[in-house]
Structure 1
Amino acid sequence: MLCGQIPALEIVQAFNDPLLFLEKRDELDFDLCITDIEMPGIDGLSLARALKGKLVIFVTAYKEHAADAFEIDAIDYLTKPIKLDRLEKAVQKCLTVFEKQTAAPQFLRVNTDKGKSFLYFSNVSMISTAEQDSRDKKVMLSDGKQMLLKNMTFDFLLDSLPADQFCRVNKKDIVALSAVNHYTHSEVILKTATPDISVSLTETYRKEFLQKVASAGLIT
């Protein structure tokens, strides 16, 4: 009844048998489980451990289980009788955690010629095939510095980079749309801390590039 009064919650299903819930959990599309601790068949702590990757709020009449609950990363521990405002606070904690879990990553951990590094997407202007070894990729950063990625494919990079922020423009170059100064039918000019860089825009990638710059609101 209380959950139904919280707009952020959608009740998928309610169970009065924890073992039945475990049997059906793979059939249910849910992110949060609100459970008691003292239950027949299996206790709530064991239930929570079985729900790997799911958020859990405990509601119970027993305060002594709180330490165990937080050891298994429970979002909150509410003691009965449950009040609406207290449940709402617990749900807000869940929303904060869930947003962090589902947020798109802002960087990529990579192997470079200097060791392991973090490649922050917002700092990238262009990624090119290295001249000495095509398995490596040269990154031009927005401050003019460079980074050499070791044994990295374009396919992996394109799968890892935010698709709405980066685009391949030819066989050897990926550009950040935020770095585009202007472009023509066959050329893209990038603004960097060093003199502007010109890269070719080939027919294979032209349509996708034009669609992305249009979506990004760049001037044609």
Structure 2
Amino acid sequence: MPTAIIADDEPNLAAELADRLGRYWPELQIVAMPRNGPEALAAINTLKPDFAFLDIRMPGLDGMQVARLATGSRVVFVTAYDEYAVDAFDTAAVDYLLKPLNDERLLKCITRLQRGDAPTAAAAPTPLPVAPAASADLIQWLTVGLNDITHLVDVADVVYFQATDKYTEVITREKRHLIRTPLKELAQRLDPARFAQVHRGVIVQLAAIDHIQRDLLGRLRIHLRQHSDVLPVSRAYAGLFRQM
């Protein structure tokens, strides 16, 4: 009989997944439901389940760290955060499910697990290009998703990032996307030679700037190449354009 653990710091969501797995895969035995990363790692090492359904953002150790440290269990990430898809498949995860779960998508995952499929080109995003060692922590790609579809966005295509109430908006010349990564976290992982923060809520690609204009009140405004949006420059960041 196949066995699995479900690791999630939200017990109601873990119980919901266990219920749905019980309906669609009654032979699967759930042997533990840990609520944080260290407990999940201990359960995998002790119980050696065939499968581990891991949330990504958990206390102690996140799901990525658990997946990298654990051996012997096939990992499925179940998370509300779509921007981790590339990293997830780098850990050889079998699948990546977005909350709220879709029954059709869950059934496809179960079929994949029952067949013993490895991650395929259709399931996993395009591999990241190898970055130089000095810039290994810099973001090269972003994963943006809607329902069960995940897209890759090359950071080079991003015109600017803008913080919203709960999300960060990613603006390219053609589209606008939402991700959950906070702007503050993005600022630490973007190439400072290519991107600059110009406002508490705005990071812009320097190559996308056409010109900077000062209005009658002395405020700076950024006009972009091939894009109609005009971006504010706050006083705290006005020194970037002091030559004006």
TM-score by structure 1 length?
0.42
Q: Which has the larger radius of gyration?
A: 1
TM-score by structure 2 length?
0.38
